[in-house]
């Protein structure tokens, strides 16, 4: 992860993006996911975007394309994942998990390219399923792009801070 500077705004693609704007985006995403609106969720991505979850033994600098990971979705797989989750035959999520997300500690920084910027944030996702209630805790490490229609994900990455996934805590939903 690149060094994060905590600041209220970042310049990107010729305009200023504020932390409040990013927070609103992340809160809206959490709400969309907690309400199982997967078409709405996919609309938050630019075409060609990625979704990644490294393994719990992940170290800074590891590329998911060179190491094992939990999720390493390119655009095709992300679409396949959404299509699957909307199906009645996604048995691991039928009936659906109930989730409740908290997003916090939002920090902005420049991306590696002119048209995208980096967002770090903390998350806690609580998930109820099969009579159990599990907590998932970690950091987001996203690349966002400002567009005329608002912010969009270029990369959505969830980094767990667990030592391993607890029993029953498989990642069949979106983290």
Q: In the complex, which residues of this chain contact another protein (CB under 8 A)?
A: 53-59, 62, 64-74, 76-77, 80-81, 83-84, 87, 89-93, 130, 163-172, 175
Q: Which is nearer to another protein, 17 or 85 (CB)?
A: 85
Report in angstroms the alpha-carbon separations of 139 from 8, 96, 111, 114. 19, 24, 17, 24
Helix (H, G, I), strand (E, B) or coil at 4: coil
CB of 128 to another protein, least distance (A): 15
Q: Is 168 exposed, middle or buried (0-12, 13-18, 19+ CB in 10 A)?
A: exposed
**CB 107 to another protein: min, Å:** 25
Min. distance of Cβ 74 from another protein in angstroms?
6
**Beta-carbon neighbour count of residue 100 at 10 Å?**
13
Phi, psi dihedral angles at 9 (to 5 degrees): -155, 160
Nearer to another protein, 9 or 42 (CB): 42
Nearer to another protein, 76 or 148 (CB): 76
Minimal distance, residue 75 CB to another protein, in Å: 11
């Amino acid at each position: 992860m690149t060094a994060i500077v905590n600041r209220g705004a970042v310049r990107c693609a010729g305009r200023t993006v504020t932390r409040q704007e990013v927070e609103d985006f992340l809160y809206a995403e959490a709400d969309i996911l907690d309400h199982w609106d997967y078409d709405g969720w996919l609309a938050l991505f630019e075409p060609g975007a990625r979704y990644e979850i490294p393994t719990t033994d992940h170290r800074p600098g590891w590329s998911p394309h060179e190491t094992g990971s939990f999720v390493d979705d390119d655009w095709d797989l992300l679409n396949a994942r959404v299509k699957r989750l909307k199906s009645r035959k996604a048995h691991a999520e039928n009936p659906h998990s109930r989730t409740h997300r908290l997003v916090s500690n939002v920090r902005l920084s420049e991306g590696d390219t002119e048209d995208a910027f980096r967002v770090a944030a903390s998350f806690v996702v609580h998930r109820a399923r099969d009579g159990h209630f599990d907590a998932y805790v970690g950091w987001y490490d996203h690349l966002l792009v400002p567009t005329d229609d608002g912010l969009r994900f270029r990369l959505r990455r969830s980094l767990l801070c667990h030592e391993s996934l607890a029993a029953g805590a498989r990642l069949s939903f979106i983290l």
